[in-house]
Structure 1
Amino acid sequence: MTFQLHHTTIAADTPGASTVLYWYTAGPEDAATRVHLQAALHADEQPGTMALHHLLPRLRDADVADRLKAHFTIYPSVNPLGLANFSMRHHIGRYDIETGVNYNRRWPDLYPQVADAIAGKLTADGAENIATIRRAAIDWIDSQQPRTAIQQLRLHVLRSAAAADIVLDLHCDDDSLKHIFTSPELMPGLQDLADWMGLAATLTAEDSGGGSFDEVLPTLYRNMRLANPSHPIPNGAETATLEYRGRADSFDHIGQQDAAGLFGFFAGRGLIDAEAGSKPAPAPAPTPFEATEVLRADAPGLLAYRVELGDKVIKGQPIADLIAMHGPEAFMSRRPILAGTDGFILSRVMGKYVTRGASIAKIVGTEVLQARAGAYLLED
């Protein structure tokens, strides 16, 4: 049996303080395929942690029965620093309260760090080239000297991911249908993941603009291919951000469903020698993230939604009314906020008091929006 709990202590940035990161491993260390799973990088997003809570016993039992054909590394709550970020009884788990930086932004661009190290070492064998690039990335990570707690955490997690063939980062939205973000070259390869999750949408982008965790490895291999066109460099890692509905959706019955979907995905890939379960219905085909409108409020006020999650809408249709909270008709007048594209409602916000510029909904369309092409795509 290889199923094992591990922990490491992360020294905090203030005297006498530290925190502990826990993770599990399961499956043969020398397996041909390595899987990295993590949840709650945004520490205030718990549905992914609930899903892994229910997946872990299934992996343990499969491990005891010698049915795991891949090596799994699982971080059920990958950001203990963010778990500690409370202010006035409010959990600020999305941002580092010292710097204000989103925990899922500004992950390193590995290509310029390792390009020189692989120069002259690539061959005509794609698998060899992936191994060479991985070694260079891990060597660079190992050479770093973290100065802060968040740097310690990031380097530890990134080292695990850099060695993996499948890297899944479990998140959630505010109030949302299930969806994933991934790189376009990884589709349709990850369509089976989309199917097993029962997604409403798969949104793809090469660069969403924020340096998100799930883009680190695809960006590395993509840039290696561009810089070395005479050498075969396959996709070295299938990575995706899995958005498990909204923050309020941490319930046992939902977590069990989500764990079953992950188990079915891995079993369907032959990474667990077990019945995958009933074949899921096909999920929608991927769409460019640039075709999704992030609808924002142009003034402060109180939202009154006119639509539900999943509703189909057309351009110009009222999505919500914004009730005025200042001015001559304060708390009396209201005006509509209109959809800027045809599509369906993927997400809304739970807090209905909004400030100017706040994101209030995402509308998934099919046509790339001119204002989104080449722009920063995230909400933040």
Structure 2
Amino acid sequence: MAFELHSTTLSGDTPGAATTLYWYTAGPADAATRVHLQAALHADEQPGTMALHHLLPKLRDADAAGQLRAHFTIYPSVNPLGLATYALRNHVGRYDIETGVNYNRRWPDLYPQIANAIAGKLGSDPKANIQTIRTAVAAWLDSQRPASAIQQLRLLVMKSATTADIVLDLHCDDHSLKHIFTSPELMPGLQDLADWMGVAATLTAEDSGGGSFDEVLPSLYRKAQLANPDHPIPAAAETATLEYRGRADSFDSFGQADAAGLFGFFAGRGLIAADAGTTPAAAPAPTPFEATEVLRAEAPGLLAYRVELGDRVKKGQPIADLIAMDGPEAFMARQPILAGTDGFVLSMVTAKYVRRGATIAKIVGDEILPARAGGYLLED
């Protein structure tokens, strides 16, 4: 049996402070395939933790039965620092309150850090080239000296993820349908993940602009390929952000279904020698993230939605009304907020009082929007 609970103490940034991070490993340590799973990097997003809560016993039992064909590293709640952050009885789990940085932004651009280390060491064997790159990345990570608790946490997580062949980062939206973010070169390879998850959309982008965790490894291998065109360098890590509905959706029934989907995905890949279950229906094909409109309020006010999640809408159709809360018609006037593209409503917000510039919905379309091409694609 290799199923095991681990813990690491992160030294705090103030006297006497420390935080403990817990994680599990399962499966043969020498397995050819390594899987990294983590949830709640945004510590106020718990549906992924609920899914892993239900997946862990399945992995434990499969491990005991000798069915695991991959080595799994699982962080059910990967950001204990964010778990501890409360202000005025509200959980602030998305941002490091010391720096204001989103926990899922500004992850390192690895290729510039290892370019010199791999120069002249690549050859004609793609597997050897991947090992050369991973060895250089491991050496660079080992050379880092974290100066804060969050840097300790990031370094620990990166050391695990950069050795993995499959890296899944479990998140959720505010109020949304299930969806995936991944890199375009990883599709249709990850279509089976989309199918098992039962997503409404798979949104792809090479660079969404924020240095998100799931883009670190695809960016590494993509840049290595571009800089070394005479040497075969596969995209050696399948990575994705899995968005499990909304923040309020941490229910056992959802977690059980989501865990069954993850188990089915791994079993279908042959990484667990067990029945994968009923083959899921095909999920929609991927679409560029640049074709998704992030609809924002142009003024402060109170939202009154006219649509529901999953509704198909047309460009120019009112999505919501914004009720004025100041001015000559305060609390009387309603200004419609219009869709800027044809598509379907993927997400909405639960807090209906919004400030100017706040995101109120995402609409998934089929055509790249000029305002989104080459820009910052994220919400914050």
Structure 1 length-normalised TM = 1.00
Aligned to 2:320: 320
Distance of 1:345 and 1:10 partners within structure 2: 41
Q: What percent of counterpart residues are identical?
A: 81
The match for 1:27 is 27
Partner of 1:84: 84
Tell me how far apart the structure 2 counterparts of residues 203 and 304 of structure 1 sit (CA, whole Å): 27
1:106 aligns with 2:109: no
CA deviation vs aligned residue, 1:131-181 (integer Å, no higher than 9, x gap): 111111111111100001110000000010000000000000000000000
Residue 375 of structure 1 aligns with which residue? 375
Deviations 1:60-84 (A, max 9, x none): 0000000000000000000000001
Residue 350 of structure 2 corresponds to: 350
Distance 1:256 1:123 in 2: 45
Match of residue 157 from structure 1:
157
* Correspondence list, 1:269-348, <5 A: 269-348=269-348
In 2, Cα distance between the equivalents of 1:44 and 1:322?
27
Partners of 2:306 and 2:53 in 1: CA distance: 36
Unmatched 5+ stretches in structure 2:
none
One-letter code aligned to 1:33:
T
Aligned residues between the structures: 380
- Quote the Cα distance in structure 1 between the aligned partners of 2:83 and 2:50: 15
Amino acid paired to 1:187:
M
The C-alpha deviation readout for 1:277-303, integer Å capped at 9, x for no partner, is 000000000000000000000000000
Q: Name the amino acid aligned to 2:249.
A: D
CA distance in 2, matches of 1:78, 1:136: 25
Question: 4+ residue runs of structure 1 moved beyond 3 angstroms?
Answer: none
> Secondary structure of the equivalent of 2:361?
strand
Secondary structure at 1:272's aligned position in 2? coil
Equivalent in the alignment of 1:125? 125
CA RMSD of aligned residues (A): 0.4
Q: In structure 2, what is the equivalent of residue 54 of structure 1?
A: 54
**Cα distance in 2 between the residues matched to 1:272 and 1:252:** 23
Q: Counterpart of 1:45?
A: 45
Give the deviation of 1:204 after TM superposition: 0.2
Q: Distance in 2 between matches of 1:162 and 1:308?
A: 39
The SS at the match of 1:274 is: coil
For residues 364 and 105 of structure 1, what CA distance do their matches in structure 2 show? 23
Aligned-partner residue type, residue 129 of structure 1: N
SS at match of 1:224: helix
| 1: CA distance, partners of 2:60 / 2:117 | 38
Whole-angstrom distance in 2 between the partners of 1:135 and 1:78:
24
Corresponding residue of 1:14: 14
Q: Secondary structure in 1 aligned to 2:325?
A: coil
Letter aligned with residue 67 of structure 1: Q
Aligned equivalents of 2:271, 2:139: Cα separation in 1: 27
Structure 1 counterpart of 2:200:
200
* Distance in 2 of aligned mates of 1:81 and 1:138: 24
SS of the residue corresponding to residue 20 of structure 2 reads strand
